[in-house]
Amino acid sequence: MKPTDEALAERRARVAKRWGLTDEVVFLRAGEPASWSGTDQHFAFLPHPDVPYLTAAGSPGTTLAYDAAADEWELFGPRFAPERLVWEQPPTPVGRPLDELENWLAQRSDRELIEMGADAVMPETASGDSPDQPGGVSRQERVLRLSAAVALERMIKDKAELDDIRRAAAASAAGFEWVYANAAPGMTEREIQIGMEAQFFAAGAPRVAYDSIVASGPHGACLHYVYAGDDPLRPATRTVEAGDLLLIDAGAQFGGYASDVTRTMVVGADPTDEQRFLWDLVLSAQQQTIDMCRPGNVWSEVHLAAARILGAGLVEMGLLRGDPAELVPEGAVALFFPHGLGHLLGLSVHDITSVPYSSGSSDDPVLVKLGPNRVLESGMVTTVEPGIYFIEALLGDQARREKFAESVVWERVDEMRGFGGIRIEDDVLVTESGPEVLTAAIAKPIRVG
């Protein structure tokens, strides 16, 4: 749902309050299409997410300006000259014409200009300077902190945002339903991807939220296995065989908002004991950690809980030996579960990642709220996506085999090489009354075809 003018005004007011600026001018730019080197072509354009969040618009060039002295926002949008309109349709007009921006800024030429959005230049890592020590804060640190302030607002979804995420999830559901009804041995991964994505689009999604992962058999052990990842010119695709695991990680986008769903199923055969054990284990880890998605819980603790559950299952199966509570910190569980339990979801599938520290750790009281030690709050949407994988690059690595000689039962693990991977992922809204699974309508069959 497009946010109302009132909703946009509320978002802007909250951001301005967090910024606490007095005299500066801020530009938030949507950006320009990226060019394809050596050609006159451009990649499909997607705006810097801060701009649609604060404007509900996102054509190339769209710029939101903020005059801190007046506490006023002004939106500028592109208009095309007749010559350009011969070739391209006009962008939906928003705000004032973009060519008025220069004059608007000239009237404020004595003020400090801070460039954000697509033009933000941020430090690789924050220095740890406190924002209340302006003398010690570099320009890039300043941009980082202003961006972090927008990120903190984007983390808590309002009604219009949740509505779009739900519509994205509904389009994803249509695609997964197609898979459940049609996937069968003899089909290629590519055919399955095309059939599924067609349903996303038929259900109203303008695009996918990220490149779909349709990985069969051993390919499921590559976390981001995508079509043409091997060769952009003549990509290979694998034919699914009866008894293969099929891991599909895909999501439709709607209104700029992502959904992100993973299901893993056995195609055309009943699951083997090992497939069933690990599938049940991953599902159990997911169910238990979804239940932990409640206000006040620390995300890194939820991740560790998942790792301990998966570790205990791997011990039970005879692949690991030892105490799961120790196998997690020593890194043995991460051989089989080598990624985080999930990530925030919103205007980007891995949301709020442009702010350094969102994937690291920080003692900074603001930045820590964006990182893995964030405390869950009502209104956050996070994925919960535990998995178990048999990754050749890790399991065949001599240094790791020696390091984990005691804790990994290599004879058993070696029998599992080529198994692929199992991941199960849903999108979860944190609420005061408990977790709401926004992708709950998408079934979790262990077998299809």
Binding site for ligand GLY (CB under 6 A): 210, 249, 260, 349
Q: Return the number of the residue (199 or 383) whose C-beta is nearest Mn ion.
A: 383
Q: Return the number of the residue (269 or 440) whose C-beta is nearest Mn ion.
A: 440
The residue of the chain with the least Cβ separation from ligand GLY equals 260
Q: Return the number of the residue (282 or 349) whose C-beta is nearest ligand GLY.
A: 349
CA angle at 347 for the pair 342 and 351, rounded to the nearest 5°: 35
* Minimum separation from the CB atom of position 389 to ligand GLY (A): 13
Residues in contact with Mn ion by CB under 5 A are 260, 383
> Quick one: what does residue 210 bind among ligand GLY, Mn ion, none, with the CB cut-off 5 to 8 Å set by partner type?
ligand GLY
* Minimum separation from the CB atom of position 349 to ligand GLY (A): 6
> Quick one: what does residue 264 bind among ligand GLY, Mn ion, none, with the CB cut-off 5 to 8 Å set by partner type?
none
What pairing do the DSSP bridges indicate for beta strands 257-258 and 436-437? Answer: unpaired
What residues have CB less than 8 Å from 161, skipping those under 6 apart?
3, 257, 346
> Quick one: what does residue 80 bind among ligand GLY, Mn ion, none, with the CB cut-off 5 to 8 Å set by partner type?
none
CA distance 240 to 251: 21
* Minimum separation from the CB atom of position 210 to Mn ion (A): 8
* Minimum separation from the CB atom of position 425 to ligand GLY (A): 7
* Minimum separation from the CB atom of position 420 to Mn ion (A): 18
Q: Is 345 in contact with 165 (CB distance < 8 Å)?
A: yes
Amino acid at 424: I
Q: Return the number of the residue (340 or 379) whose C-beta is nearest ligand GLY.
A: 340
CA distance 102 to 313: 62
Q: Return the number of the residue (142 or 343) whose C-beta is nearest Mn ion.
A: 343
Q: In what order do the strands lie in the sheet with 261-267?
A: 213-216, 245-250, 261-267, 447-448
CA distance 321 to 407: 5
Q: Return the number of the residue (164 or 385) whose C-beta is nearest Mn ion.
A: 385
* Minimum separation from the CB atom of position 339 to ligand GLY (A): 7
* Minimum separation from the CB atom of position 251 to Mn ion (A): 8
Q: Return the number of the residue (209 or 245) whose C-beta is nearest ligand GLY.
A: 209
What residues have CB less than 8 Å from 404, skipping those under 6 apart?
331, 332, 335
* Minimum separation from the CB atom of position 355 to ligand GLY (A): 18
* Minimum separation from the CB atom of position 353 to ligand GLY (A): 11
Nearest CA to 192 out of 223, 238, 224, 234 is that of 238
> Quick one: what does residue 193 bind among ligand GLY, Mn ion, none, with the CB cut-off 5 to 8 Å set by partner type?
none
What residues have CB less than 8 Å from 76, skipping those under 6 apart?
62, 63, 64, 65, 95, 96, 97, 98, 100, 101, 104
Q: Return the number of the residue (339 or 412) whose C-beta is nearest Mn ion.
A: 339
> Quick one: what does residue 172 bind among Mn ion, ligand GLY, none, with the CB cut-off 5 to 8 Å set by partner type?
none
Q: Which residues pair with 257 in a beta bridge?
A: 254
Q: Return the number of the residue (63 or 262) whose C-beta is nearest ligand GLY.
A: 262
Q: What are phi and psi of 288, to 5 degrees?
A: -65, -35
